[in-house]
Amino acid sequence: MLRTLEGGIARKRRAATNDKLACLIALERKVLWLSTWMIHNANHLRPNRDGLKVGGHQASSSSVATLMTALYFDVLRPQDRVAVKPHASPVFHAIQYLLGHQTRDKLERFRGFGGAQSYPSRSKDGETVDFSTGSVGLGVGITLFASLAQDYLRLKRLVPTDDPPGRMVALAGDAELDEGNIFEALLEGWKHDVRNLWWVIDYNRQSLDAVVSDRLFGRIDAMFEMMGWRVVTLKYGRLLEAAFARPDGHHLREWIDACPNSLYSALVYKGGEGWREHLHRDLNRYPGIRAILDDHDDAGLQRLMTNLAGHDMDSVLAAFHAVEDDRPTCFIAYTIKGYGLPFAGHKDNHAGLMNLDQMASFRRNMAVPDGSEWEPFAGLELPAKRLAKFLESVPLAGSQPRRHDAAAVAVPGNLPVPRGTRQSTQEAFGRLLGDIAASETALAERIVTTSPDVTVSTNLGPWVNRRGIFDRAERADTFREEHVVSAQRWAMSPQGQHIELGIAESNLFLQLAALGLAGPLFGTRLLPIGTLYDPFIKRGQDALNYACYQDARFILVATPSGITLAPEGGAHQSVGEPLTGLAQPGLTSFEPAYADELAVLLRWAFEEIQREEGQSVYFRLSTRPIDQPQRQVEPNLAEAIVAGAYWLREPGPAAELAIAYCGAVAPEAVAAHQMVAEDSPEAGLLAITSPDRLHRDWLATRARGATGVAGRLLARLRPGAALVTVGDFHPATLSWLGAVAGNAIVPLGVDRFGQSGDIPDLYRAYGIDTEAILDAAARACLAALRGSP
Ligand SMILES: Cc1ncc(C[n+]2csc(CCOP(=O)(O)OP(=O)(O)O)c2C)c(N)n1
Ligand SMILES: [Mg+2]
């Protein structure tokens, strides 16, 4: 009786599994069709107004169709988060369409204005995209840092922990592994003992230009294993495995194993005849192989020889479902670029598009009737009803929102100005954070800091001393336990609120991106602050751009900066970063001179990064101690500091000259102004806290035909009056100010590589000292008189 019952249950299970497999195989076919059709439609059927190729990647899409079908329609759970390799965007959109999360209209406008994006985009495609991708390597890297962010939240119980954690999944192209940021992330992940991470490598052995080197083979798994990862290799599908099990079959396996990547690819392209010729030549002496060749016609032989596990649904599902623990796992899935398409395996297929004839023949194979191209189930062997029912049961189906709406964190009305008549903005930053660390506020609870091995030298010390370093395990501060005196506590625990990173700046930005998405990804906001030296922004600039493109919200504190770090030397001097601050979408930058300005701005930044339409905020700070103005910051002044500029010394009516400065050169500007004022008491001194905000406001208000902040400030001068701008940065940062109201401008700044020295020597050498400002003032006045600079 019991046995019959057991037998019955097992039979039903088998039937259900077979049914699932049949549905997934049918949907995989549809995903391949829709992704290629979407690209075809965009390139061949839509009107083309500019003569540019629209593009899209049919070959790259086809190689992940099986893997992504398996993941999205069976393996992924709602709490999992995914980065899809950029060139699989059409597959991603097709899957979302079948799940009911994407519209046909957007598919028809793929790569068009307002249509489905070329590469999956959080900000442009919306809800369904967890991580944007596009710049290869970065999407893979961010999943690792998202996993760390998830651990951070869970270990502190800042998110509910009843449900299992989400798996952070990257679908990576094999050539993405050429990107250094992957290795930087891997090593960092190992240090932090990351969990719940899956990297699925679409191992099609092709990049953009060609077939990848055979010498890479074997290196990838060794590397992951060295970092403590589990490596699951999906090499041969069920058909090939069955062939290998036949008499002499092992010779076939050995032949394929030894086959160079480029030959294998070329034969994939040539098809059955090509395989037959080579196998006949190399293995004809084995009767078992001859039998295999005899049993397969050309089409069958092509099907057999291209039956790699990454295209074998059964093998793919088995591999994914076999992983049940949280150990980071790398799946190396052998695939074929262009699988199922006429240019399969061809080394030049990356940008290849099927022509009209090829599409017509592909359509016949797919049995899609004319006019039914966008129908979800047209041409599939299974009944539409059955497939629709299956899709409804998929864990990612339904209208459950994928993005959380996380409650805002309260920000106090003001932050106390760090006391001291002489201090640097970097010092003030450390003290502001130290004060917050000492408070028992919601703000203090949600700030998380991170730094690439410059925690102490960027003055995060006071924060870290109070709030500790994050680690999934408790780790003692050995120096402290051994009673070795140190100003810096270095104990680690899950309660810690600082994530200490190795020196790789790219990791810093990916970590900031992941922490800055904690709200939408995991349901609880974090307020991340990352610190680094200003010149090294460049090292991580693509990752910074990537973080901004995702609309991740964080505060970046870059210090020291410019040539003002003086004896630290030329190699560490930054010149163009304020231009990055000005030009980078999604990032608002400030370069305050005084501690009270920073107090206002930091407070504002905590709100700004939480605002729906807000941005991330970049502070460029300095190590130069300067005299502080003795003043009370009234609301009007605070507002002006945030808006980007205010008159430190008001100009007289219709003044002939103003000096505008930004940042650490304030003392030189103040001194020059004082001297000028002896002869021209009307001259004004403009304090600029944000070239970026001023510039943005200028463009926006000009477009509306209105006068912006800069225009209103400069209107205090005589029309065409002389204007000198000065800052420890490239002069282009402020030279545009001359166009706002038509002033005769002389912009000062640094436009050459620097050298070490003290501030007086360097400011003189690069022309931003008091003398240079006076000179420039004279030149500007002369130009103003003549009517041209
Ligand atoms: C940082 C960056 N450099 C270059 C490119 C241009 N590019 C697009 S795809 C690609 C090759 C991708 O090869 P692979 O990752 O193996 O993907 P697949 O074979 O699946 O297309 C390159 C170089 C890019 N998108 N990002
Ligand atoms: Mg590839």
Q: Minimum-distance ligand to the CA of 178?
A: 1
Picking from 40-44, 546-550, 663-667, 701-705, which range would have the lowest pLDDT averaged per residue? Answer: 701-705
Q: Which atom of ligand 1 is nearest to the CA of 59?
A: 21
| Average pLDDT rounded to a whole number, residues 81-105 | 98
Q: Minimum-distance ligand to the CA of 170?
A: 1
DSSP lists the bridge partners of residue 297 as none
Picking from 123-137, 261-275, 473-487, 519-533, which range would have the lowest pLDDT averaged per residue? Answer: 473-487
Q: Minimum-distance ligand to the CA of 172?
A: 1
Checking if the pLDDT of 729 tops 90, the result is yes
Checking if the pLDDT of 140 tops 90, the result is yes
Mutating to test ligand 1, I would choose from 132, 136, 541 the residue with most ligand atoms within 8 A of its C-beta, which is: 136
Q: Minimum-distance ligand to the CA of 140?
A: 1
Instruction: Please list every protein residue whose CB sits less than 6 Å from any atom of ligand 1.
Output: 60, 63, 85-87, 135-136, 173-176, 202, 204, 206-208, 337, 350
pLDDT value for 2 = 60
If we measure between CA atoms, which residue out of 458, 418, 454 comes closest to residue 436?
418
Q: Which atom of ligand 1 is nearest to the CA of 64?
A: 20
Checking if the pLDDT of 217 tops 80, the result is no
Query: Which residue's alpha carbon is nearest to atom 21 within ligand 1?
Result: 60
| Average pLDDT rounded to a whole number, residues 758-768 | 96
> What one-character DSSP code corresponds to residue 410?
P
Sign of CA dihedral 281, 284, 285, 289: positive
Query: Which residue's alpha carbon is nearest to atom 7 within ligand 1?
Result: 208
Checking if the pLDDT of 788 tops 60, the result is no
pLDDT per position as a tens digit, 150-179: 999 999 999 999 999 999 999 999 999 999
Query: Which residue's alpha carbon is nearest to atom 12 within ligand 1?
Result: 207
If we measure between CA atoms, which residue out of 316, 298, 299, 304 comes closest to residue 249?
304
Q: Which atom of ligand 1 is nearest to the CA of 206?
A: 19
Token pair belonging to 397: 């189906």
DSSP lists the bridge partners of residue 619 as 557, 590
Residue 246 phi/psi, 5° resolution? Answer: -80, 165
Q: Which atom of ligand 1 is nearest to the CA of 173?
A: 15
Mutating to test ligand 1, I would choose from 35, 66, 87 the residue with most ligand atoms within 8 A of its C-beta, which is: 87
| Average pLDDT rounded to a whole number, residues 522-547 | 98
Checking if the pLDDT of 366 tops 70, the result is yes
Query: Which residue's alpha carbon is nearest to atom 22 within ligand 1?
Result: 208
Find the 173 Cα to ligand 2 centroid distance in Å.
5
The residue to which tokens 């100010």 are assigned: 737
pLDDT value for 494 = 96
624 or 7: which leads in pLDDT:
624
Find the 84 Cα to ligand 2 centroid distance in Å.
13
pLDDT per position as a tens digit, 582-614: 999 999 999 999 999 999 999 999 999 999 999
Q: Which atom of ligand 1 is nearest to the CA of 87?
A: 21
Q: Which atom of ligand 1 is nearest to the CA of 179?
A: 1
Give the orientation angle of helix 138-155 with respect to helix 541-549, to 10 degrees. 70
Cβ contact 189:328 at 8 Å: yes
Band the pLDDT of 186: cuts 50, 70, 90.
very high
Checking if the pLDDT of 476 tops 90, the result is no
Share of the chain above pLDDT 70, in %: 99
Mutating to test ligand 1, I would choose from 85, 176, 207 the residue with most ligand atoms within 8 A of its C-beta, which is: 207
pLDDT value for 789 = 47
Band the pLDDT of 399: cuts 50, 70, 90.
confident
